[in-house]
Chains A and B, each alone.
Chain A
Amino acid sequence: MKEERDELLKEFTPEQVAKLDEIIERYKSKPGSLIPVLEEAQMVLEYLPVSVQKRIANGLNLPFSRVFGVVTFYSFFTMTPRGRHTIRVCLGTACYVRGGKAIAEMLEKTLGVKEGQTTVDRRFTYETVRCLGACGLGPVVVIDNDVHGRMKPAKLKETLNNYQ
């Protein structure tokens, strides 16, 4: 346990670890609670490295392989640290036919990263998503929680400038 905690403290603050433990404690006796625990943990810790997964496995009394399997199965979970801002380009069909592809290409060029990667300065994490359900506004780019609709390649730069 001690080792595990040390491992965690390399990457997270004691407050964060305490919060993680609180989440585990809350769900401990509930069957099928692994995914909600991971979701809440990721909100607190931003990402779920192996050390966190081990803590959760022990806490919920599950094999580590089970936790690892779930983390890698669902696209919502990430094992690597993220940028300060997350850019998600919608590549749902509606956005795709309305030019989402060009936006994605433009972003890759501007940021110099591929899908799923974080810029070197950790300013942006760039992801693509499958339909955010805001098809009326396609093409859509979501930066953090702000939905930017009717996006155009020419408008991108200006929009990014608002996220430092």
Chain B
Amino acid sequence: MKVFRSHILICGGTGCHASGSLEVKKALLAELDKRKIAEEIKVVETGCNGFCAMGPIMVVYPEGIMYTLVKPSDIPELVEEHLVKGRVLERLLYREPSTEKTIPTMQEIPFFAHQELVVLRNRGLIDPEKIDEYIARDGYQGMAKALTEMTPEQIINEIMASGLRGRGGAGFPTGLKWKFAASSPGDVKYVICNADEGDPGAFMDRSVLEADPHAVLEGMVIAAKAIGSHQGYIYCRAEYPLAIHRLTVAIAQAKEYGLLGKDILGTGFDFDLEIYQGAGAFVCGEETALMTSIEGKRGMPRPRPPFPAVAGLWQKPSILNNVETFANVPQIILRGADWFASIGTERSKGTKVFALTGDVNNVGLVEVPMGTTLGTIVYDIGGGIPKGKKFKAAQLGGPSGGCIPIQHLNVPIDYENVTELGAIMGSGGLIVMNEDTCAVDMARFFMEFCQDESCGKCTPCREGTKRMLEILNNITQGKGKEGDIELLEELAKIIKDASLCGLGQTAPNPVLSTIRYFREEYEEHIRDHKCRAAVCSALFKSPCQHTCPIGMDIPSYITLIRVGRLEDAYKVLLKTNPFPSVCGRVCDHKCQSKCRRGKLDEAIAIKYLKRYITDNAPRPPVAPVPVTRKEKIAVIGAGPAGLTAAYDLSRRGYKVTVYEELPEPGGMLRWAIPAYRLPREVLAREIDAIRATGVEIRCNTKVGKDVSFEKLSTDYDYIYIATGAHKSQRMNIEGEDLNGVYGSVEFLRDFNLNEEAWVKGKKQLGKKVVVIGGGNSAIDSARVALRLGAEVTILYRRERQDMPAAPEEIKAAEEEGVKIEFLVAPVKIIGQDGKVSAIVCQKMSLGDFDSSGRRRPVPIKGSEYTLPVDAVISAISQTPDLSFIPKESGVSINRWECVDLAPGSRSRTHNARIYAGGDVVTGPDTVIAAIAAGHQAAKDIDEAIRLANGEPPYEEPPEEKIEVPLIIDEETVESPQAAMPELHGAERILSFAEVELGFTKDEAYREACRCLRCDAEI
């Protein structure tokens, strides 16, 4: 008998076959042959052991090791490791799923917990094609009651008392509609169900018809009894084949049971039903157009009056309700008007079904009581916005509705509130839009829809929507003009007032509502050709470049990395940015948030690639620029804004002097951002290059002390104030002035000024340090304190996703051992002998939404607790210190203690010779925003000078043309962003060495190849 040293069992079950076990087996046999061990090892195909989703599965005996998800490409490694070297291949090893994971109940899942089902009460529970299952859930009981125990008046009164309003959009009281039709004379009347759900993004009716068709039929029979009708129609879109199929089955079954047709339930009441398939015209959702369509004509609306209740289908009295309205009716009859009216708000009763879609984690069908807030729907039920993006607005009512923006997340959704906000309830499409949605493009999208669907019968709608679309197209293509917004508003008003039917009357709503909430976006498109969402592609070359505040030519330098021309890439960087190696390290990279690659897998690591260039190519030398202009300019503050302005002005031939209070230039880059993020010599090199153009930087010179503001005003023609925001905001709690309580920027500045004293322990924080706040300066303070040997806890009053700090910084801090406690705020600081000894904190819970769309932290009473601490660093925010500016300078300072700019200017103060920019104007902002402000100021100052002198505008000297090859890969293979190599262990937390090490050549090349070249025009 042959003895094998090993048996390999390959699962040959259906599941594993489907996942490719045959190929695995083939590869295994080939590999065993190749290694000449086929004689020692027996391969057996076995039956299924049930782990089909983890297949192909392989079990190796005698050890009994189970490998899962084995691919043919794994075989060489598996054979080498397990069968040759005798080591278990961990990577493919089966791992028992943790059984400790408790399974939540449906009520513990927020998506379901906040819903209350009336219309959807049978969802998922019954087979829609089995009438018996519907009957078992009290189906047709409401109808039985209506037919046997109630008069038509009683039915109508019950519906009126319930407060049910039309769920198709307009919210007209259903009972009232029925009453009108009931009182219209005539033997022939019609009950029509509107299932022509044409709003893009709405699928409530489809779901109801597919899941519970009998509920609609039952509601229609009750309506028929109420108005005295014997014939009904369901008008359903042909695009909903499954809904039509299930309706057809339901009608046939109901007829067979005598629940439709002649003598229903033996009561003598007759009612028959037909399905009518819509042929694809949005306007047929309008009631008169729908009726015209059933009559076999083009579906165009008719003027009202006469109303359908008097003269509807075939000129007979008719009622038309939508699917959801009818589905509510049986429950109201069965359980009573009072029960129904107990749900909802004062004027909007019952529940509403929403189709929740768009940029939201849980997409689906949602039924909530009227009055549920938008925030609950989007964040609790919807699970928030995917990929950490920011909520922008929700579109309600599709192309006839409007949007509700972030500041109204607390609004209870009912008919009245929604209308007040400029939207409509509509049939219930609720489309969530994130920050990557352009308000203007959205308005254009809906207008295009309405224009396309306008039936053409009345002029205001036919021509008006066309004109509005033209204007919107122009704006999104950068051809907008001043006055376009006003023209849109005027046209909208006319179309609303003069159109024949609902389509035209509501078509301008999306435009009006986006103008109402996002007017500044319209203005940016028209004036600056800027689309902040980077959607309107006619306005830009690539989304990353468009999003960068200084418009860096990102696709070009990334391509130049790919082809290995780093020196040229460096030149591209310097065209727009005097601080590329700084930005390669500490920029908040807004560009990456709009990177198209991010839609495929992950954004390009633009920041890291930028750094790779500056780390690996020599900096192109800077030649001194001769002073050719007579005007002299003083810059106060040598931070990124001041130095950028100085650099630009100096290159334009001005003599620029920069005044800096501290011993070295750099501002926050030098005195707040720690060296482990931005090494000093890297910053120094950039500033040296600025000096080389001829900029003079006078350090240790504080304006207002070492030199007076008045003297600068007389000595210089123009002044640029860029002193930043270097004063920590107070927490306004007891004990804040004790020794050992620091403001974050003050602490970081002191540390950077006296690094040796701190590192050698001459200055000390103590053992336990608490940092208050969630921004970058909180993280910086915490990581510095940690490096000084302290045990650090960050207290933040909201949740992780609300932290303003960069996610990579938060991650790095936690890796280093910083503890972060969320939903905690300080109450008071306790001292001993004038020095801090403890901090009293309070836990917070999350309340309603603030205007930024984040939940407001609310203190939990009685949750106070005390932490013993040696130092407290407060990092809640920073403000500028403008005490050096005399009142009589004419520079006005606002209530946020920031410099006010003159209306219409982006850099000039109320004194025409004094400019300002950076944090001193905006409050704490990013490095790149400061650089952009510096560019802006230089341009504005130069323009003002030339204008005053009557000179022609400045012309950029011709710059070296850098050819950028166009390489586009045919196939795109999904691959994640390259990770930044980092320093680890003690070397990291015990020193101030740079943590991020920079890409290797190989990593940079591979990352550069991921770029999709959105800038390419083919």
Are B197 and A133 in contact (CB-based, < 8 A)? yes
Instruction: For B600, give its contact among A36, A134, A138, A154 (CB under 8 Å).
Output: A154
Contact B363 A35 (CB under 8 A): no
Report the bound CA distance from A32 to B276 in whole Å. 11
What are 21 A-B residue pairs whose CB atoms fall within 8 Å in the complex? A31-B295, A34-B296, A35-B277, A35-B279, A39-B238, A39-B277, A70-B296, A73-B298, A73-B455, A74-B299, A77-B279, A94-B357, A96-B445, A130-B198, A131-B199, A131-B201, A131-B202, A133-B197, A133-B206, A135-B357, A136-B363
Residue A9 lies at the interface, judged by CB distance under 8 Å to chain B: no
Name the contact of A76 in the complex, choosing from B279, B364, B599, B972 (C-beta under 8 A): B279
B357–A136 touching, CB < 8 Å = yes
| Distance to closest chain A CB from B835 (angstroms) | 56
Shortest Cβ gap from B177 to chain A (Å): 23
Chain A residues with CB under 8 A of B559: none
Q: Which A residue's beta carbon lies closest to that of B199? A: A131
* A35 lies within 8 A of B395 (CB): no
Does A13 lie at the interface of the complex (its beta carbon under 8 Å from any beta carbon of B)? no
The closest CB in chain A to the CB of B295 belongs to A32
With A32-B294, A35-B293, A94-B431 already in contact, the answer to whether A134 and B203 are too (CB < 8 A) is yes
Taking the complex as formed, is A66 at the interface, i.e. its CB lies under 8 A from any CB of chain B?
A: yes
A112, chain B: closest CB distance, angstroms? 14
Asked whether A160 is an interface residue with its Cβ less than 8 Å from the other chain, the reply is no
Min CB gap A27→B, angstroms:
10
Across the interface, do A93 and B238 meet the contact criterion of CB distance under 8 Å?
A: no
Query: What mask results when residues 32 to 65 of chain A are scored 1 for a CB within 8 Å of chain B, else 0?
Result: 1111101100000000000000000000000000
Contact (Cβ within 8 A) B239 A70: no
Q: Does B599 lie within 8 Å of A70, measured CB to CB?
A: no
Q: In the assembly, what is the distance between CA of A33 and CA of B282, in Å?
A: 20
Answer whether residue A28 sits at the interface, using C-beta atoms and an 8 A cutoff.
no
Picked from A69, A73, A138, the residue with its CB within 8 Å of the CB of B281 is A73
Flag whether B974 is at the interface (Cβ < 8 A): yes
Contact assessment for B296 and A94 in the assembled complex, using a CB-CB cutoff below 8 Å: no
Residues of B within 8 Å of A91, CB to CB, are: 200
Q: Does B280 lie at the interface of the complex (its beta carbon under 8 Å from any beta carbon of A)?
A: yes
Point out which of A39, A77, A136, A138 has the most chain B C-beta atoms below 10 A from its C-beta: A136
Contact with A along B263-297 (1 / 0, CB 8 A): 00000000000001111111000000000011111
Within 8 A of B (CB), among A57-92: 66, 69-70, 73-77, 91-92
Smallest beta-carbon distance B506→chain A, Å:
15
For A70, what are the chain B residues with a Cβ–Cβ distance below 8 Å? 296-298
Query: Smallest CB–CB gap between A81 and chain B, Å?
Result: 19
- For chain B, residues 231 to 245, give those with C-beta under 8 angstroms from any C-beta of chain A: 238-241
In the bound assembly, the distance between CA atoms of A127 and B282 in angstroms comes to 17
**Within 8 Å of chain B (Cβ to Cβ): is A98?**
yes
Question: Could you tell me if A38 and B279 are in contact, using CB atoms closer than 8 angstroms?
Answer: yes
Is A135 a contact partner of B355 (Cβ separation < 8 A)? yes
Are the C-beta atoms of A97 and B296 separated by less than 8 Å?
A: no
State whether A97 touches B437 (Cβ < 8 A).
yes
**Interface mask (B408-440 → A, CB under 8 Å = 1, otherwise 0):** 000000000000000000000101010001000
* 6 nearest A-B residue pairs (beta carbon): A92-B200, A133-B203, A74-B279, A94-B357, A135-B357, A76-B280
Whether A93 contacts B281 by the Cβ 8 Å rule is no
With a cutoff of 8 Å between Cβ atoms, the chain A residues found around residue B445 in the complex are 93, 96
Note all chain B residues with C-beta closer than 8 A to A123.
Answer: none
In the complex, what distance in Å separates the CA atom of A128 from the CA atom of B971? Answer: 25
> Taking CB as reference atom, which chain B residue is nearest A42?
B279
Q: Is the CB of B298 within 8 A of A69?
A: yes
CB closest residue in chain A, given B241: A145
Q: List chain A residues, Cβ under 8 A from B383.
A: none
Residue B555, interface by CB 8 Å: no
B359: interface (CB < 8 Å): yes
A113: interface (CB < 8 Å): no
Other-chain residue from B297, B298, B358, B974 in contact with A97 (beta carbon distance below 8 A): B358
A138 touches B357 (CB 8 A): yes
Complex: A77 Cα to B358 Cα, angstroms: 30
- Asked if B398 is at the interface (CB within 8 A of a chain A CB), the reply is yes
B992 interfacial contact with A, CB 8 Å: no
- Nearest-neighbour CB distance to chain A for B427, whole angstroms, equals 12
Give the shortest distance, in Å, between B212 (CB) and chain A (any CB).
16
Complexed CA–CA distance, A94 and B198 (Å): 13
A94 CB to closest chain B CB, in angstroms?
4
Contact A73 B398, beta carbon cutoff 8 Å: no
Please, what's the 1-or-0 string for A123-164, where 1 marks a CB less than 8 Å from any CB in chain B? 000000111111110100000010000001110000000000
B239 touching A31 by the CB < 8 A rule?
A: no
Interface residues in A, total, Cβ within 8 A: 38
- The answer to whether B359 touches A97, judged by C-beta atoms less than 8 angstroms apart, is yes
B314 contacts the other chain (CB 8 A):
yes
A32 CB contacts on chain B under 8 angstroms: 294-296, 314
Say if the beta carbon of B449 comes within 8 Å of chain A: yes
Q: Beyond A97-B358, A131-B202: 11 further Cβ-contacts under 8 Å?
A: A74-B280, A93-B201, A97-B437, A130-B198, A131-B199, A131-B201, A132-B239, A133-B240, A135-B201, A136-B363, A153-B600
CA distance A152 to B974 in the complex (A): 11
Chain B neighbourhood of A92, CB < 8 A: 200-201
Q: Are A98 and B358 touching (Cβ within 8 A)?
A: yes
Decide if B280 touches A99 in the complex (CB within 8 Å): no
A142 → B minimal CB distance (Å): 9
CB distance from B476 to the nearest CB of A (A): 12
B398 near A152 with CB under 8 A, answer: no
Check if A130 sits within 8 Å of B238, measured CB to CB. Answer: no
CA distance A4 to B909 in the complex (A): 82
Known interface pairs A97-B359, A136-B364; A31-B314 also in contact (CB < 8 Å): yes
Contact: A93 with B364, CB < 8 Å?
no
B277 interface neighbour in A36, A75, A102, A130, Cβ under 8 Å: A36
Are the C-beta atoms of A93 and B398 separated by less than 8 Å? yes
CA distance A82 to B382 in the complex (A): 40
Q: Give the nearest-CB partner of A130 in chain B.
A: B200
Q: Most chain-A Cβ atoms within 10 A of its Cβ — which of B296, B453, B600?
A: B296
Residue of B nearest to A105 (CB): B537
CA distance A69 to B300 in the complex (A): 11
* C-alpha gap A153/B601 in the complex (Å): 12
Q: Which residues of A contact B277 (CB under 8 A)?
A: 35-36, 39
Report the Cα distance A71→B232, complex, angstroms. Answer: 25
Is the Cβ of B281 less than 8 Å from the Cβ of A135? no
Q: Which chain B residue lies CB-closest to A154?
A: B972
Residues in A whose Cβ lies below 8 Å from that of B358: 93-94, 97-98, 135
What residues of A have a CB within 8 angstroms of the CB of B298 in the complex?
A: 69-70, 73-74
Which residue of chain B has the shortest Cβ distance to A34 in the bound complex? B296
Residues of B close to A34: CB separation below 8 A: 296-297
Determine if B449 and A130 form an interchain contact, defined as CB atoms under 8 angstroms apart: yes
Residues of A within 8 A of B206 (CB): 133
CB distance from B310 to the nearest CB of A (A): 20
> Contacts of A77 on B, CB cut-off 8 Å?
279
B-side contacts of A74, CB under 8 Å:
279-281, 298-299
Which residue of chain A has the shortest Cβ distance to B313 in the bound complex?
A32
Question: A76 to B236, alpha carbons, bound, how many Å?
Answer: 13
Whether the Cβ atoms of A99 and B599 lie closer than 8 Å is yes
Contact B199 A154 (CB under 8 A): no
Chain A residue numbers with a CB within 8 Å of B295 are 31-32
- A16 CB → nearest B CB, Å: 21
Q: Known: A133-B202, A135-B363. Is A66-B297 also a contact (CB below 8 A)?
A: yes
- Cα(A117)–Cα(B974), bound, Å: 31
Return chain A residues, CB-CB under 8 Å to B357: 93-94, 135-136, 138
Q: Contacts of A134 on B, CB cut-off 8 Å?
A: 203
Scan B180-205; emit 1 where CB is below 8 A from any A CB, else 0. 00000000000000000111111100
Please tell me if the beta carbons of A76 and B238 are within 8 angstroms of each other in the complex.
yes
Q: Which residues in chain B, 359-377, are within 8 Å of chain A measured between CB atoms?
A: 359, 363-364
Residue in A closest to B291 when the chains form the complex, CB atoms:
A32
Whether A93 and B431, one on each chain, are in contact in the complex, defined by CB atoms closer than 8 angstroms, is yes
B974 touches A154 (CB 8 A): yes
B288 CB, min distance to chain A CBs, angstroms: 15
Report the nearest B residue to A38, measured CB to CB. Answer: B279
Q: How far is the CB of A64 from chain B (nearest CB, A)?
A: 14
Residues of A within 8 A of B971 (CB): 154
